[in-house]
Amino acid sequence: MFVTTLLLTIGSVAGAQEPALPSFIDQKQRLTAPELPNLTRLRFLTATDYPPFNFLDQRGRLVGFNVDLTRALCEELDILRLCQVEAVPFSDLEEALASGRGEAVIAGLAISPQSRNQFAFTQSYLRFPARFVTLKEAALQTPVAENLGGKTVGVLQGSAHEAMFRAFFPDVEPRAFPDRNAALDALKEGEIDAYFGDGVSLSFWLESDRAEGCCAFSDGPFLSDQYLGEGLSIAVAAKDARLARALDYALVQTVEKGIFSELLLRYFPVSPW
């Protein structure tokens, strides 16, 4: 199979203190600065089709939150000269890492008992929250669990968010839509009182022309490992657990120095959190 890849050597990224934003990394950890004397290359593998995390810009360059995060991590480890990013199809990432084509994957590989047998993972650096979206003038009263009586809440049929809603709010029967756009159009027209779904994608919908400035987040965020997974981590080969711990150290440093917050502000103009 012919695979088109993008390969680039990455430079530095500046970080500055920013207003506090949610962090899923425990800053109280006291990790020792790692030594990687035998490291001759650190190639991060990623995909090109998941904006704002990794995508091609109008000039065909590989950009995104994850790309900038790799720059920051390499700077913290003082190994910029060794760092690269290569983009491959998402379906090929596990095989590419297992075969040694790269040393790490930063593209949202699912963390599961099966994947943990094959790879070592860093701590999760980002979680995907579920959120309610409502018309701006009709926000849900909090606590929302006590104020959904008589409300019609839309969900995407068959989605993890539908299952999560039914588990979190068992006394409310949601209205399931086969298509998310149809549900959000129904919200705009006042046919439903709220929509419950993925906060990240909804944060960009809120700013889109399609939303027409109608809506806003209401209450939340809601997190669940059971329904939404453990979030984004960096995967390395199982034999490279030492590298995973080095990346953990670098992740903690980016949070403490405000670099991680700067990236969140850059790529998420409306915070999903």
Q: What is the CATH number of the domain that holds 75?
A: 3.40.190.10
Give the pLDDT score at 63. Answer: 95
Q: Which residues are paired to 216 by β-bridges?
A: 134
Determine, yes or no, domain membership for 273: no
Q: Which has more pLDDT, 8 or 239?
A: 239
Could you give the C-alpha distances from 48 to 55, 62, 67, 84, 88, in angstroms and in order? Answer: 4, 7, 10, 15, 7
Burial bucket for residue 229 (CB in 10 Å: 0-12, 13-18, 19+) = middle
Same domain, 14 and 99: yes
Determine, yes or no, domain membership for 201: yes
The count of structural domains within the chain is 2
Give the pLDDT score at 27. Answer: 59
Give the pLDDT score at 5. Answer: 42
Same domain, 15 and 121: yes
Same domain, 113 and 16: yes
Same domain, 20 and 102: yes
Evaluate if residue 128 carries a pLDDT over 90: yes
Determine, yes or no, domain membership for 47: yes
Determine, yes or no, domain membership for 215: yes
Determine, yes or no, domain membership for 272: no
Same domain, 33 and 137: no
Determine, yes or no, domain membership for 238: yes
Q: What is the pLDDT of residues 40-49, one digit of tens each?
A: 999 999 999 8
Q: How far apart are the first and last CA of the chain?
A: 40
Give the pLDDT score at 232. Answer: 94
- The two tokens of residue 149 are 């009586």
Evaluate if residue 92 carries a pLDDT over 70: yes
Mean pLDDT of the chain: 89
Q: Which has more pLDDT, 134 or 3?
A: 134
Determine, yes or no, domain membership for 137: yes
Same domain, 172 and 256: no
**Which range (32-36, 69-73, 108-112) has the least confidence?**
32-36
Evaluate if residue 11 carries a pLDDT over 70: no
Among 141, 143, 145, 169, smallest CA distance to 155 is for 169
Determine, yes or no, domain membership for 1: no
Same domain, 51 and 110: yes
Q: How many CA atoms lie within 13 A of 117 on its CB side?
A: 3
Give the pLDDT score at 21. Answer: 57
Averaged pLDDT, 56-63: 92
Domain with 211 in it = 130-227
